[in-house]
Chains A and B, each alone.
Chain A
């Protein structure tokens, strides 16, 4: 009986527990994640601004997007290990650019989310007491994203679902594209003007937005918009609209504005300016120099804040914004072999091993520079330091770093080589290649070395490749963007992890090019800042040498006068474009430059390169089919699929021809 009572008590107690426990169990309170509500607090808004910077990593350094900015231009074509991503972009009959295959989706998929966050900051900031200077950072990035989008796709929507330039918080499955002039005049120009006004001269944080940065983008936006208004080659725009400015100005006005803003920035540089040499701009360790206005930052010191792994064998992409673009333009130098025996026989030894060094790094061989880069763009390699400061052309023996103990190896012409000596060199001039003998396949008959089908010249211990022998398989590496690390010690380091260097986006030097281009297009210039004057500032700097990558030795010489003397009397657009390529080769600017100036087909319609196999050293001429429609990239299929609209509306949303 006693037990029964106890049980009754337990049952009653359970009832009590039940009644008291259930009133709250249907409520939700997240404790490990943020909900969008947090975005209405001060810390949320400040974090939103950080996110503006962080989003750059998902665009710059993303190798497939990099491919979309370079492959198909006169700077790069597809390489030996290319896949559809690269072949489609080359427009040379080996693939086709479609809404599914275009890799401009990387931009499309990243930019709108950031634009929305920027709009959220601008809307919420005042309520939580954020300063105008901070809001201006958001304004800059909103304009930045719209500028990228409008150059790539034509008109894009200003209304994400909550009204034009409003913060959207409702699931919106419809979209209407604005026209190009609307995007410029409603979004890009007002935001940048406000940003110039409110931003500080010196960045709030390292790499932070400044007045100078906003001026660079405004002048560039004016310049681009002026070209669009002028439309010299009758390239269609979409959504269709008249080439008139809603504010009633014409192309000349905007060329002038571009000139004015750019020269204003040059005259008021703040903490910015040109580095002494081109080499200094790009040498690893000096990435955040005074010439850099904007970059997608990375760090070797914190894997977490780097946002991507810093060690190990990593994939080129992840959901973390990793910088691996340069891998695509790195040829597989690790295939080079030298012989252990003086007669050139024996199991080949890898003499240039994969190293986390600026001229080496991880090879993907997805993209290759056509021969014209070496015979045309960089025809002059002696006075101008930029060829040497752009490419690694000499591959030096590094085998002891990989633990290979041979003191001497035997290389071209069975000649001995020791660590640090050139193993394979890309010759500067065709004239140096007289008498060159290439192996037919990977190797010379009976020899264990080369392994890549390189050539030899009498008396030289290093293998050589002439400029016109550059192929989809072998080409100089892009030194300026190469791997740089401080933790290699005496070994090869971590060449297989994404780069921990910042990815450069905008430089002070570009202001000179913008002003010069505007001047060429008719802007009235001020004294000392004609197009030729401005270009000569850049060329004079290019003449200054500090170090020779080719010789791997200090090389201090000043060719400024000779460089200026070589500048043509009259600067035209083509000259500016060539000069831009010399200055910004492989930095992801080329496609925009060719599209803005409508010179894509003229300058990149054909190219020469040798075939993809070892031993291919006969240039082939390849013709690209660059149609007018290609001046706008297709709207990504994910956008089309994600919209809830009729088939006709969806078809009308897509750019014509795709």
Chain B
């Protein structure tokens, strides 16, 4: 009877929630076995934590049946069961326990908390391991913790949460993912991105394809002893993402999580207003007002451009399980309409997982993650808006909008919010990228019937990733010349990827003390990538957009440089043995052999060894009396891994092409050898030592991890430029070495534990990474062209060093301005002189020149993150933040590449404190001083700021309605409000400019000129979409 009533209640609720469309579909996937009941008794019980607090909503099922119930919010349950049955009690964040009823009518059951009991299991790649037994460096974060930050993707959610894992913003556009560096940068021209593994299958897509709501846990393997199981792809760290699965013996549950919020500009770019700009022009004296300029106009072009953004996220999932199987299905929708008109990112996700035991020995299942996403408006840039003269207005006297503004020296097309939106509505200016990706893992597992603990498993991964871009610019759009012909382009990319893994594993404990876990793997993997691209000019009608380039009246181009085909394969053997003696001594040894198609014949195979050991001191007999230490474990490991991130066919050389015309209309294509084959090409190898200490004290109230590592990377893969006299541009070779050394500390504490209802928890992490180049090719210590210098960061800047301004007439005379800067003037930038002085006259012997450039390291001294959570009677308040100290922040908008700090009054300027005869202690130079190219001389030195900052990323206030309003124990509901990016502290850059000190561009992006070329690898603040401050309201509902 009871079984039916549960089902009935559930169905009623579902109807009540109007889930008619989805639910029957999902339910049809389930099989309910309804067995006959035996002699039943009624059992009342209470589920408690180890320190006596009730656990709300724990699940109680009868072992071997689907009969079950759930606790109310006081941890109480009542169930009618056979007197000889066994109850299985489970709850999120707690270990599952089985309790025999033994005809008792009242039970009190304590569940050990997972993270505190260290019984927690972490995913370590090709299997799981008890956290207690882990000997490598593995950081773990569960999905709920990660979701404390409402974020469109995992990289943003993880920023600052894990020591040693640096997430750097490379774009502020909607839907952008972050750059991930695990323990620094080690490679020069090869990839530095970690390997991502989704549900056991190596993941080739973008992290934006994974809905953070679907994530159950993320493990980051940081040291080589942990990553060696991924051999040739382990050097940059490995991120293991596990998506939500159902749980066995759990009744169906629907979760709905959603939020909606607005986005506002965190800080406008600090451009000059009208009067300030007029003053600048006067100070420079070079430009008179252009035709559309007048000193009494004061327009804030940014105000006319930005709009309020919208961000919203909806997720619904259904999960549950029977005695023999479990399932989880979900749908998600995310939308972010940015603050730049027409910029937006939209994503639909669908996910499913199923795990089913078949008979006694077989298990099969699958995980599938599929998404469709669309980003639009990425062609809309900010330079025109920022550089537009503030003493001009976009409006004609009759209220219509001007097409162009004539400034002193430049004409610029007018972009306002209305103009951009209208262009889109009229099909005149579009750029959209539509992505579709499906990641699927199917597995089968068979247990050996006769040998306990021996299993064979096969994983099959099948992925398909596609992206289609279409762009159209109508006639004259964005161009001063209204008759510039229209242009359209289409870009299609496809990636097919399959993986097969055969795993044999053996798990057994001998004589109660010797625990052995052994895994053997044989796997194959292949990926095929294909890109095609075409463009056309002079599309006759705007309505065609980019949908039929064949209609073009002008030229249609299929540029061979924009077509691509890549096929690569990997074959691997791997073996790993983990052995633990009495939970005191642990050792883990791994060997992996990888063969890659990317290497030349005879050099394809390489074997990677790794070993690590741990000593669980707390489990020693001599520690028995030491009560304040709950856990103390020492770990050490060593391993070798490498970096496969080199393009296919690199060993084969390259014949480059040059198109040419013989006369106006006869065409040909030239070939020349640009890259030579290198048949000796191998991987670059990283050798890592890692030492760790895990501890937990004061009844597990304070726990943490300390780690120290050294990674030496050798045989760096480098696209090496050959001297031109070799007749060839270059080849890819193994040259040079780098080193990363670092220290990491993570702490988690419960400061107040339910003191008068108050609970206060805090987490903190801190890490350093000292990165340096150890050697370059053959004794070379400097590569000025690439800004690589032995002994310095890979990310070093090579430029003059600003030491101030030449400030007064006396100073310039005493300091020899005329010698150091022939033609220089007071108020110009003063840079460091490193030359000699005449021994007699004490004057500098030469002018400042290229020899005075300095190498400046960009990396920070230390960084990390923090989070804290206070809860009281259903309310909770959480704060998550990050910090960084030291290093250089490169703001290209302040330097020479942005063309926004020209200080000549040619176009609008960043509102900086510049030198004038009456303002002589300014930071920025005299506008009337010497100019180099279009900028003040040494303007690039104005880009460099102290990169320190502390930033509160989110503040969230939530309330759990399950505590009061909702009486049903089956429904949980929490609502919250969040503010993201509320404030920044301790940032000299922010203090001066008001801008977000987080980078938003690669070095060569969002600049107006690459005259002083910052390498792409150095992240910068450029004129990308401004950072936003978001206000969000959300709900989590489970029933």
Binding site for B on A (CB under 8 A): 1, 3-4, 7, 10-11, 14-15, 17-18, 21-22, 24-36, 38-39, 44, 47-55, 57, 81, 83-84, 93-96, 98, 100-101, 108-109, 111-117, 119-120, 156-157, 160-161, 168-173, 175, 205-208, 288, 297-307, 311-313, 315, 321, 332, 334-335, 337, 347-350, 354, 402, 404, 441-443, 448, 451, 487, 489, 491-494, 614, 636-639, 641-644
* Apart from A49-B670, A113-B674, 12 more pairs, CB < 8 Å: A33-B655, A34-B654, A36-B653, A38-B671, A47-B668, A51-B660, A83-B1011, A94-B823, A156-B725, A298-B661, A348-B289, A639-B724
User: How many residues from B make CB contacts under 8 Å with A?
Assistant: 112
A38: nearest chain-B partner, CB-CB: B655
B291 and A114: CB pair below 8 A?
Answer: no
Please encode chain B, from 833 to 857, with 1 for each CB lying within 8 Å of some chain A CB and 0 for all others: 0000000000000000110000000
Q: Give the contacting residue for A173; candidates B568, B570, B726, B729; CB below 8 A.
A: B726
Q: Which of B505-513, B590-598, B950-958 contacts A (4 or more CB under 8 A)?
A: B590-598
Chain B residue numbers with a CB within 8 Å of A443 are 288
A54 and B658: CB pair below 8 A?
Answer: yes
B621 within 8 Å of A (CB atoms): no
Minimum CB–CB distance for A586 against chain B, Å: 22
Per the bound structure, the CA–CA distance linking A493 and B1011 in Å amounts to: 26
A171 and B723: CB pair below 8 A?
Answer: no
A638 and B721: CB pair below 8 A?
Answer: yes
Minimum CB–CB distance for B51 against chain A, Å: 45
> Could you list 25 A-B pairs, sorted by A, with CB under 8 Å?
A14-B460, A15-B502, A22-B524, A24-B569, A32-B563, A47-B669, A47-B671, A53-B662, A57-B658, A81-B931, A83-B933, A94-B823, A95-B849, A113-B724, A168-B726, A205-B663, A206-B666, A207-B662, A304-B659, A312-B484, A354-B411, A491-B482, A637-B784, A638-B721, A642-B724
B727 and A160: CB pair below 8 A?
Answer: yes
Q: Which of B424-432, B698-706, B775-783, B875-883 contacts A (4 or more CB under 8 A)?
A: B775-783
A303 and B672: CB pair below 8 A?
Answer: no
Whether A53 touches B671, Cβ cut-off 8 Å, given contacts A26-B595, A169-B676, A350-B290, is: no
B674: nearest chain-A partner, CB-CB: A113
Per the bound structure, the CA–CA distance linking A38 and B566 in Å amounts to: 18
Q: Which of B12-20, B101-109, B356-364 contacts A (4 or more CB under 8 A)?
A: B356-364
A7 and B362: CB pair below 8 A?
Answer: yes
Please encode chain B, from 756 to 793, with 1 for each CB lying within 8 Å of some chain A CB and 0 for all others: 00000000000000000000011010111100000000
B481 and A491: CB pair below 8 A?
Answer: yes
Chain A residue numbers with a CB within 8 Å of B481 are 491-494
Per the bound structure, the CA–CA distance linking A402 and B481 in Å amounts to: 8
A48 and B409: CB pair below 8 A?
Answer: no
Chain A residue numbers with a CB within 8 Å of B595 are 26
B670 and A7: CB pair below 8 A?
Answer: no
Minimum CB–CB distance for B658 against chain A, Å: 4
Per the bound structure, the CA–CA distance linking A575 and B98 in Å amounts to: 108
Q: Give the contacting residue for B673; candidates A21, A120, A487; CB below 8 A.
A: A120
B604 within 8 Å of A (CB atoms): yes
B window 169-206: CB within 8 A of A:
none
Whether A54 touches B724, Cβ cut-off 8 Å, given contacts A35-B653, A311-B484, is: no
Per the bound structure, the CA–CA distance linking A489 and B446 in Å amounts to: 76
Q: Give the contacting residue for A304; candidates B286, B555, B653; CB below 8 A.
A: B555
Minimum CB–CB distance for A437 against chain B, Å: 19
A441 and B285: CB pair below 8 A?
Answer: yes
A50 and B596: CB pair below 8 A?
Answer: no
A18 and B670: CB pair below 8 A?
Answer: no
Chain A residue numbers with a CB within 8 Å of B674 are 113
Please encode chain B, from 721 to 745, with 1 for each CB lying within 8 Å of some chain A CB and 0 for all others: 1111111110101000000000000
Binding site for A on B (CB under 8 A): 285-291, 293-294, 358-359, 361-362, 364, 406, 408-409, 411, 444, 446, 458, 460, 479-485, 500, 502, 522, 524-526, 537, 555, 557, 559-560, 563-571, 595-598, 604, 648-649, 651-655, 657-674, 676-678, 720-729, 731, 733, 777-778, 780, 782-785, 822-823, 849-850, 931-934, 1009-1011
Whether A304 touches B557, Cβ cut-off 8 Å, given contacts A81-B931, A83-B933, A112-B727, is: yes
B292: nearest chain-A partner, CB-CB: A347
B654 and A35: CB pair below 8 A?
Answer: yes
Per the bound structure, the CA–CA distance linking A47 and B668 in Å amounts to: 8
B778 and A644: CB pair below 8 A?
Answer: yes
A7 and B726: CB pair below 8 A?
Answer: no
A34 and B657: CB pair below 8 A?
Answer: yes
Chain A residue numbers with a CB within 8 Å of B931 are 81
A305 and B458: CB pair below 8 A?
Answer: no
B403: nearest chain-A partner, CB-CB: A403
Minimum CB–CB distance for B314 against chain A, Å: 36
A161 and B932: CB pair below 8 A?
Answer: no
Per the bound structure, the CA–CA distance linking A334 and B483 in Å amounts to: 20
B291 and A348: CB pair below 8 A?
Answer: yes
Chain B residue numbers with a CB within 8 Å of A109 are 724
Minimum CB–CB distance for A398 against chain B, Å: 14
Chain A residue numbers with a CB within 8 Å of B658 are 50-51, 54-55, 57, 307, 321
A305 and B660: CB pair below 8 A?
Answer: yes
Whether A307 touches B660, Cβ cut-off 8 Å, given contacts A25-B524, A26-B604, A171-B678, is: yes
A48 and B670: CB pair below 8 A?
Answer: yes
Chain A residue numbers with a CB within 8 Å of B659 are 54, 304-307
Q: Give the contacting residue for B729; candidates A22, A95, A113, A305; CB below 8 A.
A: A113
Whether A51 touches B671, Cβ cut-off 8 Å, given contacts A30-B565, A35-B653, A175-B725, is: yes
Q: Give the contacting residue for A7; candidates B444, B571, B666; CB below 8 A.
A: B444
B724 and A3: CB pair below 8 A?
Answer: no
Chain A residue numbers with a CB within 8 Å of B482 are 491
Whether A84 touches B932, Cβ cut-off 8 Å, given contacts A44-B655, A47-B657, A491-B483, is: yes
B786: nearest chain-A partner, CB-CB: A641
B729 and A451: CB pair below 8 A?
Answer: no
B727 and A36: CB pair below 8 A?
Answer: no
Per the bound structure, the CA–CA distance linking A55 and B670 in Å amounts to: 9
A639 and B652: CB pair below 8 A?
Answer: no
Per the bound structure, the CA–CA distance linking A298 and B563 in Å amounts to: 24
Chain B residue numbers with a CB within 8 Å of A57 are 658, 660
Per the bound structure, the CA–CA distance linking A357 and B348 in Å amounts to: 52
Q: Give the contacting residue for B663; candidates A15, A116, A206; CB below 8 A.
A: A206
Chain B residue numbers with a CB within 8 Å of A117 are 671-673, 727
Whether A4 touches B359, Cβ cut-off 8 Å, given contacts A34-B655, A53-B662, A312-B484, is: yes
Chain B residue numbers with a CB within 8 Å of A350 are 290-291, 406
Minimum CB–CB distance for B854 against chain A, Å: 15
Minimum CB–CB distance for A163 against chain B, Å: 12
Chain B residue numbers with a CB within 8 Å of A206 are 662-663, 666
Minimum CB–CB distance for B649 against chain A, Å: 5
Chain B residue numbers with a CB within 8 Å of A161 are 726-727
Chain B residue numbers with a CB within 8 Å of A334 are 409
Q: Give the contacting residue for A113; candidates B480, B500, B727, B822; CB below 8 A.
A: B727
Minimum CB–CB distance for B240 against chain A, Å: 23
Q: Give the contacting residue for A100; candidates B665, B725, B784, B1011; CB below 8 A.
A: B784
Chain A residue numbers with a CB within 8 Å of B731 are 171
Whether A7 touches B460, Cβ cut-off 8 Å, given contacts A335-B409, A347-B294, is: no
B479: nearest chain-A partner, CB-CB: A312
Minimum CB–CB distance for B296 against chain A, Å: 11
A98: nearest chain-B partner, CB-CB: B850
List the 9 shortest-distance A-B pairs measured between CB atoms, nearest first. A116-B727, A51-B670, A25-B569, A206-B663, A642-B723, A47-B671, A34-B655, A50-B670, A54-B658
Chain B residue numbers with a CB within 8 Å of A26 are 569, 571, 595-597, 604
Minimum CB–CB distance for B932 against chain A, Å: 5
Whether A297 touches B662, Cβ cut-off 8 Å, given contacts A113-B728, A332-B409, is: yes
B722 and A25: CB pair below 8 A?
Answer: no
A45: nearest chain-B partner, CB-CB: B671
Per the bound structure, the CA–CA distance linking A487 and B660 in Å amounts to: 21
A11 and B934: CB pair below 8 A?
Answer: no
Per the bound structure, the CA–CA distance linking A311 and B473 in Å amounts to: 13
Chain B residue numbers with a CB within 8 Å of A48 are 670-672
